[in-house]
Amino acid sequence: RVANELQELLEWLMGAPAGLKMNKALDQVLGRFFLYHIHLWISYIHLMSPFIERILWYVGLSACLGLTFALSVLSDIVALLTFHIYCFYVYGA
């Protein structure tokens, strides 16, 4: 649902949002680039969905090795799951 809302927002921004006149060629290129990136992220989520339960089970199992180990594994998983947000930031910068 979030991806669909984001796609609709990008398509709106690619036009003339609120009557603003922006650089048409630039917003079309960036808009298509971000839409393609969202498409790739949705495909990645669909690809990984069968493995999510197993990954969470191993994260829970890693707690047997200590709290700091479990927290570091959890930190790595959060970094991987939010990598697309970092990519949006880099593309926008």
Helices and strands: H and E segment counts in the chain = 5, 0
Classify 68 as helix, strand or coil. helix
pLDDT, residue 21, reads 67
pLDDT, tens only, 50-64: 888 888 888 788 888
Q: pTM score, two decimals?
A: 0.62
Task: Give the tens place of pLDDT for each residue, 14-45.
Answer: 877 766 667 778 878 888 888 888 888 888 88
For residue 30, the model assigns a pLDDT of: 81
Q: What is the predicted pLDDT for the residue at 51?
A: 84
